[in-house]
Amino acid sequence: MNWNYRPTETGWFVKVAEEDSTITIFDPAGILRGELFPTPVDGIDRDTLTLRKGHPAVLRLPDGTIGTFLDQKPKAMRRRNKRCEVAIADRTYLFAHTSGRKATALRDGIPLARMERGRWSRRNTITRKSLAVVDALDECVLTIFEKVVTPGRTGAFDQVISDFSNI
């Protein structure tokens, strides 16, 4: 699947390094805006571009600023524990999943955008409704949320049923 390589509605896009060691974030002009490095125990699933859950990753900006990226708590069952947190440049971002297809992105508690994954054959399409004016750092993190994390997680009941069906 190459749908994650398509630009966001605002023109930002990501690229995965050949050796799967980095996810690079670019603005519409093709300027590097950030790099996401999985931890050594982490791995990237090239089909979905998702990082292994519960292990911190490093987000590095072009000016050398380093931040932390954590996509949900380890072994999280409840949807509220499956949130993604990014801390960088004295800002804290939160990507809170509100349903199986929807999520809200917040910066320091202020809603920035709501994202929704499509249904059925359009499940690879993500729509975004902006709720606040964003700068380049906000857009970089929103691109990570949209392209790497993707909105929506199952709840505890669905997780249990899914786990039992895999036995």
CB 62 within 8 A of CB 32: yes
Residue 9: per-residue pLDDT: 86
Q: What's the pLDDT at 114? A: 94
Calpha distance 86→84 (Å, rounded): 7
Start-to-end C-alpha separation, the chain: 27
Give the chain's residues under pLDDT 70: 1-5, 20, 40-54, 73-81, 121-123, 153-167
pLDDT for 78: 56
Its pTM stands at 0.78
Tally Cβ neighbours within 10 Å of residue 18. 7
Category of 99 on φ-ψ map: left (φ > 0), alpha (ψ -120 to 50) or beta: beta
Question: What is residue 129's predicted lDDT score, i.e. its pLDDT?
Answer: 93
- What's the pLDDT at 47? 42
Q: Is 59 left (phi over 0), alpha (psi -120 to 50) or beta?
A: beta
Q: What is the 3-state secondary structure (H, E, C) of 24-76?
A: EEECCCCCEEEEEECCCCCCEECCCCEECCCCCEEEECCCCCEEEEEECCCCC
Distance (Å, rounded) from C-alpha 116 to C-alpha 132? 17
Residue 148 has a pLDDT of: 82
Q: Which of 41, 60, 39, 29 is nearest to 144 (CA)?
A: 60
For residue 138 the two structure tokens come to 């906000």
